[in-house]
Amino acid sequence: MVAVPLLDVRNLTVGFRSRRHSRLAVRDLSFSVAPGEVLAIVGESGSGKSVTALSLMRLIEREGGRIESGSIRFRRHGDDVIDLAGLDERHMRAIRGNLMSMVFQEPMTSLNPVLTIGDQLMETLIEHRRLGFGEARRLAVGMLERVRISDPERRIGQYPHELSGGMRQRVMIAIALACAPKLLIADEPTTALDVTIQAGILDLIRTLREDTGTAVIFITHDMGVVAELADRVVVMRDGERVETAPTRELFARPQAAYTRALLDAVPRLGSGAPVYAAPALQMEAVAPPPVLEVENLVTRFPVRKGPFRRLVAEVHAVDNVSLHLDRGETLGLVGESGSGKSTIGRSILKLVEPTSGRIVVGGRDVTRLGRDAMRPVRRSLQMVFQDPYASLDPRMSIADLVTEPLAIHSDMRRAERRERAVELLRRVGLDPDSLDRFPHQFSGGQRQRICIARALSSRPDIIVADEPVSALDVSVQARVIELLRELQQEYGIAYLFISHDFAVVERMSHRVAVLDQGRIVETGPTGLVLADPKHAYTKELVAAVPVADPARGRRLLMPVPQRKSPVRPLGWEPPVQRYVSLAGERLVAAD
C-alpha cells in the first residue's frame, strides 16, 4: 500500500520580479514527502534549494519572490489536505512553527538580537501550545539540553551575540523542534556545527521521526550527511530537478552527469594531506622567522549579574594556547563549537582583547597595540568570517566590498580597484557582471565567496579563515580550496584555517591543532594526526565524521559526553597543561 504523502508539491514555479527584469528561481518542480520520511534536496548554491524551502513555508514573498504557478498540498490531519500555495497569511501563521517548522541557513539573521534565547524559545511554546510562563521555561531548558548546549539554565538568559555560530544554530534547531512539527524543513541545519554535535543532531532528528512520525526536508551540500540520514534525494540545478532516487541507488548509480560531478567533488577523509615545503626565498641563508607567533594566549570574558552588573565569574574561552605559522603554511584549528577556535582567530586580529599572552605578526609584537596602531598591520593580516551575511555591509555594492581593504590600505585608484575586483570574482567562481549588486541578492554560498575575494584583495601575508567554505556546496568548495592553495603557492600566504570539517582540513592543512575547551590537546602533521589520533578527544571527533557512503549502513551513534561549562569563578586558574612529545613532531596533552 502506497503511503499518502504528507506534502505533495506539483509543478511549482517561483519567480522574482523588479521594475527592470524578472527571473524564475524554481521551474516546474515536483516531489512528495511521506510521513516520517527524510527527503534531501541537494545542489549547488543558486540551484533553488532555499527558494523552494521558503516557498513551502510561504516566506518567499518577504524576500521579494512569488509563487507563479503550481500547488503545495499539505495534509494537516487525517484527510484534511490544504494547498499552501493559496493560503493567506493569517492561516499560515497557525501552521508555521506548529505543524511545519524551518531551521534557517543563517542563525544570526534569523534570531532576534534584542530578545534572549529563552524568550525566543518560549514564544513558540506560548503561542502554539498555550503554555504558562513556568511550564514554557521548563520545556525551553529541556530543548536546549536536547540539542546539547552546555549550562542551559545560564544560556537561556543570554542573547544571540553571546553565543558561537554553532550554538546559535543549535538554538534555531531547538526552536524548530519545540512543538514537534509534522514537517521539519532544515536548510543547511548542520553547516555551522562540529562533527560530534552534528552527529547528535542527526540522531535527534532520527529519534524525532521515529517517535512522532515527523517528516524532514533536509537541504544540504554535505553528501556525508545525506548518506547518513536521507531516505530519498532530489538533485537540483538552476531551479530545476535533474534527478531523484532513493539514497543508496543515487550514490551507487547516479544517472545525471551533474549528480556524478557532485559526488566526485565530495571531500573524503583519508584522501591525503599536503606536506609543507617552505617557499623559495632569494638571498636568504637562514630560515626566516614565522610570520605568526602566539605564545601562551589567554582570552577570557566577564560574566556579570545583578542590577549593578557586578563581575561574578569569567568565561575561559582560550587558556594558554601557543602556536606558530611559517610563510606559505596552513595550520588547521579543529574542535567543537565553543572550543575557542574563533576566539583565537579574533584575538590574533585584536577584534577581541586578549587577557594575557603574546602575539607577534611579521616579527612585530602587536599584543598591546591599540586600534589605530593595528590599522597598518591589518593589510598583511586579513580574516574570512564564519557568518558571511553579518560581515558584509548591506548598503555597499560588491565592487566596494571586495576592494574595501585596498581603499583603506592603498593609494590604488577606483578604476584600478574595480579591475582587481573583476579578477577576484572570476577566481572565486562568481560572475564579474555582479559587481554592482548587493549582498542580499546572493545566496549564502555566494556571499561567502565574496568574503574570500575581499580577504584576498590586499594580498595579505596571513589570512585567518573562520569556516571559509562551510557555506559552499561541494563543487564550489573544491574550487575554492584549490584557489586558496594556488594563491598560497603564488604569494606565500599563510592560513590559520578554522573548520569543523575534517575532510576539508585534511585537504587544506599542513599541520593541525585540536582544541578542547580552550586548550590544544593534540597537534602535529595533519596526515599523522587524522590517520592515527592519540588523544581520546581527537579519536571522538574523527569517529563522528559522516562518511558519504550509504552502503556502509547507518552508524549507531554513541551519546556525546556533556562538556564542562567554561564559566569559572574569579581567581580560578587552570592547572598547567603538560604534553607528551611523539615521533613526527607531534604533541599530545597528558591528561
DSSP 519-550: EEEEEEEHHHHHHS--SHHHHHHHHT---S-G
Is pLDDT of 500 > 70?
Answer: yes
Check: CB of residue 162 under 8 Å from CB of residue 188. no
Q: Which residue has the cell 495534509?
A: 75
Q: Among residues 354, 326, 329, which one has the least CA distance to residue 340?
A: 354
- Mean pLDDT computed over every residue of the chain: 86
The identity of residue 334, as a single letter, is V
Q: What are the angstrom distances between the C-alpha of 578 and each of 83, 412, 566? A: 63, 50, 20
User: Dihedral angle at the C-alpha atoms of 220, 224, 227, 230, nearest 10 degrees?
Assistant: -30
The pair phi, psi for residue 458, each rounded to 5°, is -90, 10
- Give the bridge partners for 244, in sequence order: 234
Contact between 367 and 358 under an 8 Å Cβ cutoff? The reply is yes
The residue to which cell 543563517 is assigned: 106
Contact criterion met (CB below 8 Å) for 6 and 215: yes
| Strand residues in 188-345 grouped as ranges (E) | 215-219, 232-237, 240-246, 292-305, 310-325, 330-335
Query: How far, in Å, CA of 402 to CA of 396, rounded?
Result: 10
Nearest to 467 by CA among 413, 504, 430: 504
Residue type, 116: T
Note the Cα 43 to chain centre separation in Å. 17
Q: How confident is the model at residue 218 (pLDDT cuts 50, 70, 90)?
A: very high
Alpha helices in 64-185 (DSSP H): 89-95, 107-110, 117-129, 133-146, 152-155, 165-177
Using pLDDT thresholds of 50, 70 and 90, give the confidence band for residue 73.
very high
- Residue given cell 534536496 in the structure block: 41
Please say whether the beta carbons of 183 and 215 come within 8 A. yes
Average pLDDT over residues 298-305: 91
pLDDT score for 68:
94
Range with the largest mean pLDDT of 191-200, 477-486, 546-555: 477-486
Question: What is residue 500's DSSP assignment?
Answer: S
What letter does residue 96 receive in the DSSP assignment?
B
User: pLDDT digits over 564-589, tens only?
Assistant: 778 888 888 888 889 999 987 899 99
For residue range 346-391, what is the model confidence (pLDDT) as tens digits?
999 998 999 999 999 988 999 888 888 888 888 889 998 877 777 8
Residue 111, pLDDT score: 86
Sheet holding 292-305, edge to edge: 364-365, 356-361, 292-305, 310-325, 567-569
| Confidence band of 283 (pLDDT split at 50, 70, 90) | very low
Rounded (10°) CA dihedral 362, 367, 368, 369: 40
Candidates 295, 278, 275; CA nearest to 286 is 278
Please check the confidence at residue 282 and state whether its pLDDT lies above 50: no
**C-alpha cell at position 468:** 571559509
Residue 68's CB is within 10 A of a number of other CB atoms, namely 16
- In three-state secondary structure terms, 440 is helix
d(C-alpha 531, C-alpha 273), whole Å: 10
Tens digits of residue pLDDT in 45-64: 778 998 999 999 999 998 88
Helix, coil or strand: residue 86: helix
As a whole number, mean pLDDT of residues 147-176 equals: 83
Question: Considering only 176-185, 243-252, 357-366, 370-379, which range has the smallest mean pLDDT?
Answer: 370-379
The single residue listed with the C-alpha cell 544571540 is: 160
* Distances from the Cα of 130 to the Cα of 93, 98, 121, 302, angstroms: 15, 12, 13, 37
Give the C-alpha separation, 302 to 299, whole Å: 10
Query: Residue 337: which pLDDT band, with cuts at 50, 70 and 90?
Result: confident
Please report which helix (H) or strand (E) contains residue 381, including its range. Answer: strand 381-384
| CA atoms within 13 Å, Cβ hemisphere of 530 | 29
Query: CA quadruple 489, 490, 494, 496: dihedral positive or negative?
Result: negative
| Residue 477: predicted pLDDT | 78
Dist CA 264 CA 271 (whole Å)? 13
Q: Per-residue pLDDT for 242 more than 90?
A: yes
> Would the pLDDT of 465 be above 90?
yes
pTM for this one?
A: 0.77
Which position has the higher pLDDT, 350 or 79? 350
Quote the pLDDT of residue 486. 86
> Would you give the DSSP letter of residue 584?
T
Kind of pairing, strands 381-384 and 462-466? parallel
239-260 mean pLDDT? 94
Least confident segment among 18-22, 299-303, 315-319: 18-22
pLDDT in tens, 431-458: 888 888 998 888 767 888 888 889 888 8
Q: Between the CA of residue 443 and those of 106, 128, 368, 472, what are the distances in Å?
A: 11, 31, 39, 10
Picking from 69, 70, 91, the residue whose alpha carbon sits closest to that of residue 7 is 70
Q: What is the per-residue pLDDT for 37?
A: 93
What whole-number distance in Å separates Cα of residue 281 and Cα of residue 243?
Answer: 51
List, as one string, the DSSP characters of 14-32.
EEEE-SS-EEEEEEEEEEE
3-state percent helix, strand, coil for the chain, nearest multiple of 5: 35, 25, 35
CA angle 25, 31, 36 (to 5 degrees): 125
pLDDT tens digits for 513-558? 999 989 999 999 999 999 999 999 999 888 888 877 887 765 555 5
Q: What pLDDT score was predicted for residue 74?
A: 95
pLDDT tens digits for 115-161? 999 999 998 888 888 888 888 899 999 888 877 787 888 889 999 88
Lowest mean pLDDT among 178-192, 198-212, 246-260, 481-495: 198-212
Which of 269-273, 279-283, 294-298 comes out lowest in average pLDDT?
279-283
- For range 340-351, the mean pLDDT: 92
Q: Which residue has the higher pLDDT, 394 or 522?
A: 522
**Residue 93 corresponds to which cell in the numbers above?**
501563521
Give the per-residue pLDDT at 10.
Answer: 96
Residue with cell 558561537: 164
CATH number of the structural domain 7-264: 3.40.50.300
CB atoms within 10 A of CB 468: 29
